[in-house]
Structure 1
Amino acid sequence: MGFSPRSGSQTDMDQFVRYAQAAERGKVQLLFIADTPVLDVDLDHHAPHHMVDPLLILTVLARETERIGLVTTASTTFTEPYNLARQFKALDVISHGRAGWNAVTTSDPAAAANFGATIPPRAEKYERAHEVIQIVQALWGSWEKDAWLLDVNGKRFADMDKIQPVNLQGKHTASRGPLPIPPSEQGQPVIFQAGGGSYGLELAGRYASGVYANPYTIEDAQTQRQVLGDAAKRAGRDPDEVKMLAGFMPTIAPSRQAALQRRRFLDEVVDLNQRVRYLGAMIGLPLGPAQLDEPLTADQLADAKPSPHDPRSDRALAVAREGWTLRDVLAHGVIDYHPVVAGTATDVADHMQQWFEAGACDGYSIAVDSYHDGFVDQVVPILQERGLFHDDYEGPTLRENLGAHEQYGLDPRLTTPARQ
């Protein structure tokens, strides 16, 4: 199970520390900070997404926590493998084996422009991603596990015969190596992946131990999990090695009505005018801000049709048919990118139990709301009482706590070539 911060002061490290320590108190396996290398929102109307480099934030958190995993995103498209390998291995050593890398490609042209480049064709972008991940893993394994001697008196710090260059040359990138960093307590960072499509699925199936997924229904999640397992099999791996983490967004309050009121309050900081128009596109109606505090009319309900291209549309129309104002329809979370559970701690626990027991996921990526309260102290005890969540960490490293397979350097099982 992983936590993802959503908003608040993006430059207040004390707040990040409080948040991470609370999650660790709840025995949450990892903290995930997303990243996009671009200013991607209008700050006149939206809270910022990523203001501080997440690797620096996680380095701060590594010194203020003991067990929780520390995972962030870094692009394979515009970052060289040596930089990635060094930065994440450094975080892994600093945190004593708790680092993870969410390896993704970049698709935003504005982000590409920050690197003086354009987005390459999709096939080329993923071809480079395979090269980057393989070179990074080789660099992580460029020290044998017992190479680090640290014999200060004998002035022999490492056995140089056990530290070797990798000398890898691909079509798009290369590295000689080795890294100047010894193994961590878990050997090397754990790889995660996020992103859909056949190319992203192959990337996840070959390399990832955890996959961030965005299913909106149990049926969709079951399908995604099966397809992910099939991709792992094709790569020569055990499907159980790839854990699918389904995202959802809880808002916890003493009652469902209080939770809905809380979400209305949180929505005051977002651009509801834009969101109501988006809602209209989902259900086939020209909606605008003038109708925010009114429900759909009988004529509108008769004309409304859920978009076949958006899995959230059926629920959006179903909530609208209950007679809520459009402001309240939006407060139900019908256009959020994860399922929203607005209710009591028991409601949230029930959602998690239902999905897990249906085989819809291996765990969760939880984007808690801006209050950052309720989950650890209210939901976790319910899950523990039901025998669905552990009472303590399995060990000191992320690899142990995620149940990830042991790996150091390149995975020797990946003998079949990646898609070209």
Structure 2
Amino acid sequence: MTERKIILGMALTDGYGTLPGAWRAPNVDPTNYAKVEANIRYAQAAERGGFSFVFTPDFPAVRGGLESGTVSNIMDPLMEAAVISQATRNIGFVLTGSTTFQEPFNTARQFKTLDIMSHGRAGWNAVTTSDQLVAANYGKPVADRAERYQRAHESIQIVQSLWGSWEKDAWIHDQESGRFLDTSKLQPVNLGGEHVASRGPLALPPSEQGQPVVFTSGGPSPHLLEIAGRYASGFITEVWTIDEARASRAALRRAAEAAGRNPDDVKFIVGILTTVTPTVREGLDRRMSMSGEVIEARLPHLGAMIGVPIQPQHIDTPLTTEQLAIAHANPQDPRSEIALEVAREGWSPRDILAHGVIDYHPVTVGPGSVHADHMQEWFEAGAADGFWMSPDVYEDGVDAFVDEVVPILRERGLYPEEYVGSTLRENLGVPEQYGLGEWMK
């Protein structure tokens, strides 16, 4: 047993799952994208498993491929979370909001309102936005990196200042005396930078956790690490190997220390894509049945990853001894090491691809112990403080994870037996904060 425990979050996206054909699965309602009731069910299932939060990425633009694919995005993170919060009690909501195209006052108001509505369970995933499709929807050009990150610094400081502008003991609401508010404790912030500004104050009281928890997400670029180290309590990221994850986590912790913070106060949360089935073979078959033409299309990529040309007619034949002898991981792609390891286990190229070796997070396939082993190895190696799980199909994949994986993690003493508290901040194990952190004042 160890005092440090794994943190679990779950991606909440389109109502279907991470596999391209999840929306066509026999047990899935193809209209789930427009049904908040589906996301309520999935959040409730994750809450049954003690998950600290659901996480909503957000891409507010239309990508291609909608003729046969899905939108792969929640309709509106804040509006859906507001509804889901009324049907849950403990699970938190980490929602993406752009610092590039949203004004700090609106962000502060919306997220703190959700925090109050959910009794202290809201988190803001503060991100910069550089996608041209998104920029076009806001009628603005894509700003350069320096401007985007400077605006992010200004926005986060203004948002947190607005959150603290209604002091904790300002609200008197004394019916007998007739005194509603101590107005000396509700003051403008009068903050302005090069790109954004706000007078304030924000007329919203603290929630049970004070104010929302700040997250950020993405790769370990110097600009993003500076943002995360200075402001965030959670960093949601994409990494494929333990070595890569350990290096990124160490860089995050150094950034927190450079900002004058305790590095343990910033949680490093890595992604994992799950297919929970009684056997690995059943899991691979399930994944293939809902992958459409994706697997065949990725065959040349797999060959480039491991340095072995693979002909389409050999997609179902394991690599030969001669091929394995010359196979090597592409040093430019960390996923190549995983692909080579799976190839050496004797799987066919189709099976190797069904293992998800070209997906955007590590993929675990099979019985509960496979998933638990992966998380335990990463956690104990210092490669992660927690995981944000994306199921192959939401409709049965969340319950399967909760029923088959969570009990194993608990048996091994790696995961809490119950919620530590009722707020997101408590369940993440991060310190209290109201307004700007003391290290920023």
- The TM-score normalised by the length of structure 2 is 0.88
- Of all paired residues, the percent bearing the same amino acid is 54
**Structure 2: distance between partners of 1:299 and 1:190:** 53
Rounded Cα–Cα distance in structure 1 between residues aligned with 2:349 and 2:13: 23
- Tell me how far 1:301 sits from its aligned partner: 6.5
Q: Secondary structure at the match of 2:102?
A: coil
Task: Note the alpha carbon deviations across 1:339-383, whole angstroms, 9 max, x for none.
Answer: 111111011111111111111111111112213231111111111
Corresponding residue for residue 26 of structure 2: none
Deviation, 1:409, is 0.3
SS at match of 1:201: helix
**Aligned residue runs from structure 1 range 259-298, under 5 A:** 259-268=283-292, 271-272=294-295, 274-283=297-306, 293=316
Give yes or no for the alignment of 1:105 onto 2:128: yes
Distance in 1 between residues matched to 2:100 and 2:308, nearest whole Å: 38
* Counterpart pick for 2:117 among 87, 94, 114: 94
Give matches, 1:337-356, under 5 Å. 337-356=360-379
Aligned residues: 414
Q: Secondary structure at the match of 1:251?
A: strand
The CA distance in 1 between the partners of 2:203 and 2:352, in whole Å, is 54
SS at match of 1:211: strand
Assess if the C-alpha contact under 8 Å between 1:45 and 1:271 holds in 2: no
- Please list, as runs of the form range in 1=range in 2, the aligned pairs for 1:131-280 lying within 5 A after superposition: 131-152=154-175, 155-196=178-219, 197-268=221-292, 271-272=294-295, 274-280=297-303
What is the DSSP-based 3-state SS (H/G/I as helix, E as strand, rest coil) of the residue aligned with 2:438?
A: coil
Residue 276 of structure 1 and its aligned partner are, at CA, apart by 3.5
> Structure 2 vs 1, CA of residues 347 and 304 (structure 1 numbering), >3 Å: closer, same or farther?
closer
User: CA 1:312 to 1:74, structure 2 compared with 1: closer, same or farther past 3 Å?
Assistant: same
Q: 1:390 is paired with a residue of what secondary structure?
A: coil
Letter in 1 for 2:291: D
What is the match of residue 424 of structure 2? Answer: 398
CA RMSD of aligned residues (A): 2.2
1:4 to 2:28 alignment: no
Instruction: Measure how far apart 1:170 and its partner are.
Output: 0.2
Distance in structure 2 (CA, Å) of the matches to 1:149 and 1:42: 55
Return the alpha-carbon distance in structure 2 between the equivalents of residues 319 and 240 of structure 1: 34
- Is 2:148 the counterpart of 1:125? yes
2:12/2:74 contact within 8 Å kept: no
Q: Could you say what secondary structure the match of 1:374 adopts? A: helix
- Find the residue that maps to 1:157 and give its secondary structure: strand
Match of 2:62 among 28, 39, 42: 39
1:334 match? 357
* Aligned residue type for 1:381: P
Alignment match, 2:29: none
1:72-106 Cα shifts (integer Å, max 9, x gaps): 11111111101111110011011010000111111
Residues 7-22 of structure 1 mapped to structure 2, 5 A cutoff: 7=14, 8=16, 9-22=32-45
- Structure 1 distance, partners of 2:320, 2:410, is 45
Letter in 2 for 1:404: V
Deviations 1:21-67 (A, max 9, x none): 11111111111111112112411242221150111111111100001
Provide the rounded CA distance (Å) in 2 between the counterparts of 1:115 and 1:359. Answer: 40
Q: Distance in 2 between matches of 1:399 and 1:205?
A: 17
**In the alignment, which of 400, 407, 412 is matched to residue 374 of structure 1?**
400
Looking at structure 2, the residues matched to 16 and 390 of structure 1 have their Cα atoms a distance apart, in angstroms, of 24
Deviations 1:136-157 (A, max 9, x none): 0001011000112233565543
Secondary structure at the counterpart of residue 367 of structure 1: strand
Query: More displaced, 33-42 or 313-322?
Result: 313-322
In the alignment, which residue of structure 2 is the partner of 1:418? none
Please say if residues 273 and 288 of structure 1, whose CA atoms lie closer than 8 Å, have aligned partners that are also in contact: no
The 1:314–1:387 alpha-carbon spacing in structure 2 relative to 1, beyond 3 Å, is: closer
Rounded to whole Å, the distance in 2 between the matches of 1:21 and 1:294 is: 42
Contact 1:108 1:119 in 2 (8 A): yes
Structure 2 unpaired stretches of 5+ = 1-7, 17-31
**TM-superposition CA deviations, 1:284-338 (whole Å, max 9, x none):** 6777877655666889778765432210023224434555443322111100111
Give the TM-score normalised by structure 1.
0.92
Q: Which moved more, 1:84-93 or 1:4-13?
A: 4-13
How do 1:352-367 and structure 2 match up within 5 A? 352-367=375-390
Taking a change above 3 Å as real, the CA distance of residues 149 and 275 of structure 1, as seen in their structure-2 partners, is farther
